[in-house]
Amino acid sequence: MRRLIKYIIIVCLAVWIGNHRSRISKTYRSQTRGSHIISSSKENITDGYQFYNRSAQNQDGYFEFKHTVYKHGLCGNLNIPPLKRPCTPYVHVHPYQMETFVLLQGHLSYRLDTKNYSCDVHTCPVPIVIRPLVSHTFWMNDNKEDLVLIVRIEPAYRTRGLRAESFENIVGSRRDNALNIWQAFVFIENIETYPVFLPLFFSKLFIKTGSFIGHLLGYQTEYDEYTTRNL
């Protein structure tokens, strides 16, 4: 009897997973493959990303793009606490990549380890350097004008870490309201950008477990509708 019950449970679970994977494969995804400029939300006017010189960047082993946080949208709403705005990355570390910011316009706030800093184009370090394993995030500090940054990441890897393809897919999923917890786990493991609410070893284990479940449910690191390839 126990074997029969176990068999029924396994069959039901397999059928449910199969149906879920089928639904995920039919999720609407806007076609932005090949676009140089993408945004995370047209309705809420959140932020935009501009890619350029991708072939040269790939050859030279780095990734660089222009990031604009718009003053009129949710991310420029100063009544929302900075860490709760949709454009503010969760506080995180990159174990293997270095990130640099060059502020072109606006007023930036950023966190390095446990300290917060604010600066404008006249007072920001050029560049702001975030070395591997240093926890960080950033946000718009003043909404008098859009916040515009040049973000550079190195080294850039072909299939993991922060890279153009990962931004295309994360931003596209946000724009199409297709980013749930399991999809997020899959993305986070692939981009190796770990939250700091746990020690790094346990954070990696937590993310890897969630990503395994996410893959099982049919979520992917890349979708053809978003991903620009062969550059």
The yes-or-no verdict on residue 11 having pLDDT over 70 is yes
Look up the CATH architecture of domain 37-216. Sandwich (2.60)
pLDDT per position as a tens digit, 148-179 = 999 999 999 989 999 999 999 999 999 999 99
CA–CA separation, 95 and 88 (whole Å): 20
CA–CA separation, 221 and 127 (whole Å): 30
Ordered DSSP codes for 92-117: EE-SS-EEEEEEEESEEEEEETTEEE
pLDDT band at 205 (very low <50, low <70, confident <90, very high): very high
> What pLDDT was estimated at residue 3?
77
Question: Backbone phi, then psi, for 109, in 5-degree steps?
Answer: -120, 140
Domain boundaries, the chain: 37-216
Provide the 3-class DSSP secondary structure of residue 77: coil
CA–CA separation, 139 and 164 (whole Å): 21
Altogether, the residues listed in the chain come to a count of: 231
The pTM (predicted TM-score) of the whole model is 0.92
Tell me which residue of 115, 162, 154, 161 sits closest to 135, measured CA to CA: 115
**Minimum mean pLDDT among 17-21, 32-36, 82-86, 171-175: which range?**
17-21
pLDDT band at 118 (very low <50, low <70, confident <90, very high): very high
Tell me which residue of 57, 77, 79, 95 sits closest to 207, measured CA to CA: 95
**Any idea which residue has 């404008």 for tokens?**
120
Tell me which residue of 87, 92, 84 sits closest to 161, measured CA to CA: 92
Q: To the nearest whole number, what is the mean pLDDT of the chain?
A: 92
